[in-house]
Amino acid sequence: MSRDGHAPKASAAILVKTRGLAPGNRIDRHTHGEHQLAWARSGVLSVAAEAGTWVLPPTRALWIPAGVPHEVMASGRATMRSLYLRPESCPVTWPAPQPLSAGPLLAGLIDHLADTNLNPQRRARAEAVLIDVLEPVNRATIDAPMPTDERARDVARALRADPTDARSLAQWGSHVGASARTLARAFRADTGIPFGRWRTAVRLQAALPHLAAGESVARVARRVGYGTPSAFVAAFHRETGLTPGGYFRNPE
């Protein structure tokens, strides 16, 4: 069954649903019995699961395995297309959320499969091609997993709410009742990256919806706590291997 309670047509292994999201809309945490491919046809989506949060412009999609709890957010206006794939007939077996490249071919196939008037033969061919072109990406994904230590988690929540907050770990420690060393250990142990890099990822995640909306790099840099556009671009390139403009271009 899909999340709206309707089973796919008997001829369809992949069901496509389209949903418009207004700024600030949130789809609360939920699970599916099917695998889901989440894609923003327009705008930018944020998908949060236990393993982390992924910010998805139209050039990226996210594979969400069946049974994985997740929530979806849109900071600006967005059109979300979700593909639901029956596990028993799907050859893809990624056990955790997997970001994917969403180039023109994948985008076109998703739009094609959204046509409810496709005959079974054409639909089956398109479904097979779509599965074949799913291409994982890693380097260009900006991920900032939440720490599990409660004090580090308090810091993380505050920085997600205000990425411009430039307090040091020592200052955060005074705020949450832990030493800077304890917080540093917690961030590295729980998220796999040092605190400074984690904060950079949060700032870049916050920047993506504004970049997708067409705001200038200079303005976005100030919005998320960078003193100069060049510092922002350098951080963006260091984390993703791409410039901000390159991140939003369709992959070759």
Phi, psi angle pair for 226, to nearest 5°: -100, 140
pLDDT at 229 over 90: yes
Structure confidence at residue 162 (pLDDT) = 97
Tell me what the mean pLDDT of segment 213-239 comes to.
94
Structure confidence at residue 139 (pLDDT) = 55
pLDDT at 18 over 90: yes
Provide CB contacts within 8 A for 158, sequence distance 6+: 165, 172
Phi, psi angle pair for 241, to nearest 5°: 80, 5
Helix, strand, coil percentages, rounded to 5, for the chain? 40, 20, 40
pLDDT tens by residue, 85-98? 999 889 998 999 99
Tell me what the mean pLDDT of segment 205-218 comes to.
88
Tell me what the mean pLDDT of segment 141-146 comes to.
81
pLDDT at 154 over 60: yes
Instruction: Provide the sign of the torsion angle of the four alpha carbons 226, 230, 234, 237, taken in this order.
Output: positive
User: Going from the N-terminus, what domains does the chain have, and what CATH number goes with each?
Assistant: 14-133 (2.60.120.10), 150-248 (1.10.10.60)
Tell me what the mean pLDDT of segment 21-45 comes to.
93
Structure confidence at residue 3 (pLDDT) = 38
Tell me what the mean pLDDT of segment 20-40 comes to.
94
Structure confidence at residue 89 (pLDDT) = 86
Structure confidence at residue 141 (pLDDT) = 66
pLDDT tens by residue, 59-79? 889 999 999 999 999 878 899
Best-predicted range by mean pLDDT among 6-10, 137-141, 246-250?
A: 246-250
Structure confidence at residue 1 (pLDDT) = 36
Q: Average pLDDT of the chain?
A: 89
Structure confidence at residue 208 (pLDDT) = 86
How far is the C-alpha of 36 from the C-alpha of 146, rounded, in Å? 22
pLDDT tens by residue, 157-209? 999 999 999 999 999 999 999 999 999 999 999 999 999 999 999 999 899 88
